[in-house]
Chains A and B, each alone.
Chain A
Amino acid sequence: MAQILETINATIKFGGLTAVNSVSITQEEGEILSLIGPNGAGKTTLFNLLTGVYRPTEGNIKFYGEEITGLKPHERVAKGISRTFQNIRLFHEMTVLENLLIANPDCHREGIWEAVLGGGKLRRKRQQGVEECEDILRAIGLLDKQEELATNLPYGKQRLLEIGRALATNPKLVLLDEPGAGMNSVEKEELSRLIHYITDDMKKNVLLIEHDMKFVMGISDRIVVLDHGEKIAEGKPEEIQSNPLVIEAYLGKGIPEDEDD
């Protein structure tokens, strides 16, 4: 199996705080990998390192074997990494369809002359862009809400729309930061179906952060556990569930002095 994502000793320090400390993870093509850990463990920060919001203080990030540590966020999107945010960051004043359209590479790469001159070729390209978004809208169940402003959607739907927006960039890997947060159990089931649709039907890879243990254990092929910025465990869901280090981290038994091993 091909390795799609690899971090090698990824480290980032904010002043005195080491938010991510020498974390090495890998993700194989086709597997759903999850990142878990207590609050403040460094999960979102690791996502920010993967997507280029932050540059690591030390360490490297590789995507399909290619070094991407120095690339800017938009360049990483072009390589095929896209994401959602823990605190939803939709373009609230835009419609559902526009939120997807603008993520479509053909849309924002429209040239300015092309836009001014218009014409049939541009119109066909736009038509095709809309049709590509249509498939995503259908997958996230928002086809009938396409003209609604994003801000008017209920919370759970906003989460789905943000996933849709990430998909519209035509990624190889989608990073989902707590996609189930704030969702009820029905919505979570919908979400779980969507994630399987992304991996099985769209043939994309998913790396996700999630706090809902039942959800994570059910959906993940493999899990990485972070605590205080360090990777404390990794393995299959069953292995993680019975790992004493993980239980300790979650029960808060970890005493700061004992952490130097």
Chain B
Amino acid sequence: MKFLNDPKKKKIAYLVLLVLLAVFPFVITNSYYLHVCISIGVYILLATSLNLVTGFAGQLSLGHAAFYGIGAYVGALLMLNFDVNFFLAMIASAVVSGLFGLLLGLPTLRLRGDYLAIVTLGFGEIVRLVFVNWAEVTRGPLGLPGIPSPSIFGFEISGRTAFYYLVIVLVLITLFVMSRIVNSGVGMAMQTVKIDEIAAESIGIYPIKYKLIAFVVAAAFAGIAGCYYASYIAYISPTTFVYNTSVTILAMVVLGGLGSIPGSIIGACILTLVPELLRFMSDYRMLIFGALMVFMMIFRPEGFWGASKRVKNIYKIKAGGAKNGSDSGDNQRHD
């Protein structure tokens, strides 16, 4: 992947990839494949957002599915009960999930490591129980059927192809925002908190602030993923937003490589595709899946695309070379 170091070639590679993604539904018309692609898209949203918390800020969270669920329920309820437009509902999902991210982030003021993991796990479980038991609103285990499709200016986005393009747009926006964040002072500060909180404090960084930012932003994006999913699948129930889902998302982040956005993308692709590919051997599916994970962690503990592959200069500005930087215009672009 050396060629990706050259910014021009990188741009061309991105462009080719975009074109491939754009023409994909014309070439592959099988709607099952489109469905798998859409699932990958949703998991990319979930994995890259969790990566901000766990990979960059270093806070182990076992409750990411809760934010996904909150986004899904908030979006679905607004669309079903109040006829709110999908895109407004999505913003509401992001805001509400983000607020719950703040709520969950607050205990991190005092907790670390395993303790934090337990709190996030408990949070996920509480949220699921609310979905199950607050039956007047959520219809409990029966779930919410008939969630409408998005519409823009009267045009309805329906059918898998339309949803496919919508998720690609959401993924691109998310990747843009995430890479801007991690390649900034905020992102660097998050990493110092992960590496060494005492050292971070010694240079004027308030760790709690950056943990909270990570939690809130990650929760908001998981909320967006939830709202999208609700509209796509048209029916949601508490069984989607369970502990298992949180663990799967975390596995994607770890497998891909903690603290690496391309890693999260790769992790989301692999952990969505492998179970699908192994579907024919249904009995041994999870067994093989588990074995693969163990194998991976033994032979590539850093993940497929670990943080060590990251750009080594976050601002892409060099000291010394800064003043006569004829090529600095190109160097400073972040993508």
Q: Give A contacts to B, CB under 8 Å.
A: 51-53, 72-74, 77-78, 82-83, 85, 89-95, 97-98, 101-103, 105-112, 115-116, 118, 123, 126-127, 129-131, 133-134, 137, 143, 146-147, 149, 165-166, 168-169
Contact = CB atoms under 8 A, between A and B. Distances in A.
B180 A73 contact: no
B288 interface: no
A110 B202 contact: no
B204 A78 contact: yes
26 contacts: A53-B198, A53-B201, A73-B202, A77-B203, A78-B204, A82-B203, A85-B202, A89-B198, A89-B202, A91-B192, A93-B191, A97-B319, A98-B313, A98-B314, A101-B314, A102-B205, A109-B185, A110-B185, A115-B180, A115-B187, A126-B317, A133-B319, A134-B319, A143-B319, A149-B312, A169-B204
Interface in B290-335: 307-308, 312-315, 317-320, 322-323, 328, 332, 334
Contacts of B181: 112, 115-116
A147 to B, nearest CB: 6
A143 B317 CA distance: 13
Contacts of B217: 112
Nearest to A106: B185
A199 to B, nearest CB: 20
A102 B185 contact: yes
Contacts of A94: 188, 191-192, 195
A97 B313 contact: yes
B203 A103 contact: yes
A55 to B, nearest CB: 14
A3 B318 CA distance: 39
A129 B315 CA distance: 10
A147 B5 CA distance: 15
Given A77-B204, A102-B203, A166-B203, A110 B317 contact: no
B186 A130 contact: no
B206 interface: yes
Given A85-B199, A102-B189, A108-B205, 6 more contacts: A77-B203, A95-B312, A102-B185, A137-B319, A168-B203, A169-B204
Nearest to A104: B185
B188 A101 contact: yes
A157 B186 CA distance: 27
B198 A131 contact: no
A114 to B, nearest CB: 8
B213 interface: yes
A90 B204 contact: no
Contacts of A97: 313, 318-319
B196 interface: yes
A130 B319 contact: yes
A173 B198 CA distance: 18
Nearest to A115: B184
Contacts of B323: 131
Contacts of A127: 317, 322, 328
Interface centre among A73, A127, A133 (most CB of B within 10 A): A73
Given A89-B198, A91-B199, A98-B188, A103 B319 contact: no
Interface in B155-189: 177, 180-181, 184-189
Contact of B202 (A51, A93, A95, A134): A51
Contact of B192 (A78, A102, A111, A129): A102
Nearest to B181: A115
Contacts of B213: 112
Interface in B194-250: 195-196, 198-199, 201-206, 213, 217
Contact of A107 (B188, B199, B307): B188
A118 B300 CA distance: 35
B196 to A, nearest CB: 5
Contacts of A82: 202-204
Contact of A118 (B180, B191, B195): B180
B216 to A, nearest CB: 9
A118 B332 CA distance: 10
B186 A115 contact: yes
Contacts of A74: 201, 204-206
Nearest to B210: A108
Nearest to B177: A116
B195 to A, nearest CB: 5
A66 B237 CA distance: 58
Contacts of B192: 91, 94, 102, 108
A123 B180 CA distance: 13
B203 A131 contact: no
